[in-house]
Amino acid sequence: MDLARTDFYLDGQWVAADAGETVAVRNPATEEVVAAVPAGTAADVDRAVAAARAAFPGWADTAPVERAAHLDRLHAALSARADDIARTVALELGTPLKVATRVQAGLPLTVLHSYVELAARPPADETVGNSLVVREPVGVVGAITPWNYPLHQVVAKLAPALAAGCTVVLKPSELTPLTAYLLFDAIHEAGLPPGVVNLVTGTGPVVGEAIAAHPDVDMVSFTGSTATGRRISHLAADRIARVALELGGKSANLVLDDADLGTAVKVGVGNAFLNSGQTCTAWTRLLVHRDRYDEALDLAAKAAAGYRLGDPFDPATRLGPLVSAAQRERVLGHVARGLADGGRLVCGGPDAPVPDRGFFVAPTVIADVDPDSALAQEEVFGPVLAVIGFDDEDEAVTIANNSRYGLAGAVWSADEERALRVARRMRTGAVDVNGAPFNPLAPFGGYKQSGLGRELGRHGLEEFLQVKAIQR
Ligand code: NAD
């Protein structure tokens, strides 16, 4: 695998970046620089947007079945690169290779495949009285994505945007840009028409802001932190451009008194620690009935202690490093604050052993966390689980909803009807009952400060459509 990339993808071609600044890419498990990519400028964004604008009418007019055929070819080209994708994510992000293969490479392929069919069957025209209501693509989409699921976050925007007939300018995270190059190799091989998708790498303040503020970008689709989402909204508001935002989370895993505690805690810890806790939907607050609290803590501590830290390429590793030194310092700061605020360390913590090199944080469980404290309110984005007790169902729901976020969550009960009632009371975009499997066709997105709009499936495609009423 050749990691050196010196170009952007503009108007259907790899175009060498001016020999200017680059952004270094680090392996977080060794702290070594392993690659560099060009740091784009506002002028590079101008070229990418111009290419996307020029390609838009042709792509919007392409028959849905032809767009579906393009996505199918892209799926084949990307599938052929699945091993390289998993290895690249293990290298640039530190996700253990086994998880990277299943989630970081497997999930985007599943999502892309789902849009082959959805692209072929766009929403039908409707008749409302004397009006014909038609749906049309929004136009040029600026996609700005984070580092934690580098390919999935891109595909979750690109596939529905293309299926809807939009053209795209992508800026991947500067921390994990290498996977995007594999995607664009596949795009080139699949022969998508020039200008339909364009890649500019670089930093958020330069390339990201140039995309968000660009007068010719009709919609900005962003996944990342709530603070950046706010900034992008301000930039887009100046020209009343549409924004879709997938932001942070602080999701609750609500374990009722009649739940299968062993499964609920084991699955809950696994969810919280997936990708070293760098998952926006992570169930980072474990809410347990007080009658079963001590038992749950025991189970959580045992489960957490079983997460072996180490080299992402070692098959025995279950927990990789965090993405950067800055993230490690942030996460350790949250742990220290949680303990200072009265939390009780049950497992891990700042002094637990970790490998000498790499941005590792030990799997950590903190009990007796005050629901109003920073540890229960702030998104930590590391392998840190906060455990909170409750006395009854109403209190559990109140604690779960005591958050400015509302992205995901879980409920466990032996009585499914009871669990569903509780799920409906949770102010959050998704709830899993008794460990139900992930559904790639279900709408995904947040309530409150977790975002605006939905991704995935039919709902994800509709975000990229405008509605027009034609009276006759
Ligand atoms: P981030 O907000 O720092 O960066 C995300 C992207 O925005 C990057 O490409 C970055 O370069 C760019 N960016 C940064 N500043 C910008 C600016 N001023 N203008 C335009 N673009 C800018 O987020 P991150 O640290 O990469 O990702 C972690 C965050 O993402 C967490 O908060 C996590 O919860 C969230 N996230 C949300 C979802 C979701 O679907 N809701 C999914 C994954 C991650």
Torsion of CA 369, 372, 377, 382, to 10 degrees: -10
Q: Would the CB of 173 count as within 6 Å of ligand 1?
A: yes
Query: 162-174, pLDDT tens digit by residue?
Result: 999 999 999 999 9
Rounded Cα gap, residues 423 and 429, in angstroms? 10
Q: What percent of the chain has pLDDT over 70?
A: 100
How much is the pLDDT for 20?
83
- CA-nearest of 411, 40, 72, 101 to 260 is 411
| Backbone phi, psi, residue 427, to 5° | -85, 75
Ligand 1 atom at minimal distance to the Cα of residue 446:
41
With contact defined as beta carbons under 8 Å apart, do 251 and 460 qualify? no
With contact defined as beta carbons under 8 Å apart, do 273 and 362 qualify? no
How much is the pLDDT for 2?
58
For ligand 1, atom 18, the nearest C-alpha belongs to 205
Q: What percent of the chain has pLDDT over 90?
A: 98
Averaged pLDDT for residues 387-415: 98
Confidence class for position 19, pLDDT limits 50, 70, 90:
confident
Rounded Cα gap, residues 457 and 123, in angstroms? 12
Q: Would the CB of 378 count as within 6 Å of ligand 1?
A: no
Query: 240-289, pLDDT tens digit by residue?
Result: 999 999 999 999 999 999 999 999 999 999 999 999 999 999 999 999 99
Averaged pLDDT for residues 304-317: 97
For ligand 1, atom 31, the nearest C-alpha belongs to 225
CB atoms < 10 A from the CB of 316, how many?
A: 9
Mean pLDDT taken over the chain = 97
| Backbone phi, psi, residue 364, to 5° | -125, 135
- Cα–ligand 1 centroid distance for 294 (angstroms): 37
- Cα–ligand 1 centroid distance for 228 (angstroms): 6
- State the alpha helices, DSSP H only, in 254-365: 261-273, 293-305, 325-340
Averaged pLDDT for residues 16-24: 91
How much is the pLDDT for 441?
98
Query: 187-206, pLDDT tens digit by residue?
Result: 999 999 999 999 999 999 99
Amino acid at the residue 139: G
Rounded Cα gap, residues 36 and 215, in angstroms? 30
- Cα–ligand 1 centroid distance for 227 (angstroms): 8
How much is the pLDDT for 410?
98
How much is the pLDDT for 3?
77
Residue 156 has pLDDT above 80, yes or no: yes
Averaged pLDDT for residues 437-466: 98
Residue 1 has pLDDT above 60, yes or no: no
Ligand 1 mutation target, pool 174, 223, 463, most atoms within 8 A of CB: 223
Ligand 1 atom at minimal distance to the Cα of residue 173:
9
- Integer Rg of the chain from CA: 22
Q: Would the CB of 201 count as within 6 Å of ligand 1?
A: no
Give, as one character, the DSSP assignment of residue 342.
Answer: T
Residues taking part in catalysis: 246, 280
How much is the pLDDT for 186?
98
CB atoms < 10 A from the CB of 391, how many?
A: 11
Query: 326-361, pLDDT tens digit by residue?
Result: 999 999 999 999 999 999 999 999 999 999 999 999
Ligand 1 mutation target, pool 145, 211, 217, 228, most atoms within 8 A of CB: 228
Rounded Cα gap, residues 319 and 5, in angstroms? 29
Averaged pLDDT for residues 85-95: 98
Adjacent-strand bridge partners of 15: 8
